[in-house]
Structure 1
């Protein structure tokens, strides 16, 4: 059984070239075309294609992102592969949030496009290589930031207060006077803070506080 495809692009020449290319691929059949998002929605309703190859930027009419959201809402089983010239992180995350199953650059080689179509048609996700790298980097950053938030939540309110004052450059004695506590108590708080945050030196505490925005500005 062939994978039926709807081509959506505002340039007729691009659609024509894609149609010629894809109709030469075994197991793939282009069943319709649309030049903008509203037309694409109507064509999906009429033709019920397995997959929509959707241009992201279409200045005349509904754009590809908006059309993707609407199509996935009305026909969640329809797979959508976004075709874009934008190698940009902002577009990448918006595409994923819209519900598309994949994203490929217009500069991709023909065999890469065919591979992407086959992967998405099978129900899997496809991202071009640099996009995958960016997602991994973002995921790792989120884990790191999440870990920071988790360790910070381990601190008591008093320990958070002491941490901020340490980062602002106050000595243990000055902090003790400000908080009306003994120097020994401040030293104990500092020791507990460093243990919970897994830090070893005062400069590391200052750097941590800066990154957390505890001083009103970050790095």
Structure 2
């Protein structure tokens, strides 16, 4: 297939080269570079609990690619039951798979050689230049994200905090408290604590209610 599938393939090739580059950089600087630890600190092997699983993974990584080759597609036959739905898909035949394999391996070798040339010299190259600044800055993704998302979200939150929170929410709470205080101030004079005053109030209310009922009934 062509079109965007070709773009995805190219992205995969570039990613393979970059992976080979930074993994080789790690190996060259760690095992072939100058010591960067503190004085008196000596590297030592990990405990067997860590070393043995790493050795097993490393060994499988070395021979894992031989499990499925055009000459002995063992893994392909093993996974056939899992891919019954795509059984109708046909891979290109002839020399095409070999060319793709050569390009993939070549991308990895190119990444290794680029790292070797850069980090196995007598002196490490100066980390300057537009490309270095672009990569060091994460391709400006954080800057763009900050300008496009973080800053607008922060300003929106500040506006909501000033208008909605400080005025609406706090205003409702403070207004309720003010209303309760005013009502309490109005009702405080009739709360004398004398039982006879309360009885007199109940009597007056009862008389008023009876009068209202009589007037309403007469009407």
TM range (shorter): under 0.3
Which has more strand, going by share of residues?
1
TM-score, structure 2 normalization = 0.22
RCO higher in structure (CA 8 A, sep ≥6): 2
TM-score, structure 1 normalization = 0.22
Which has more helix, going by share of residues?
2
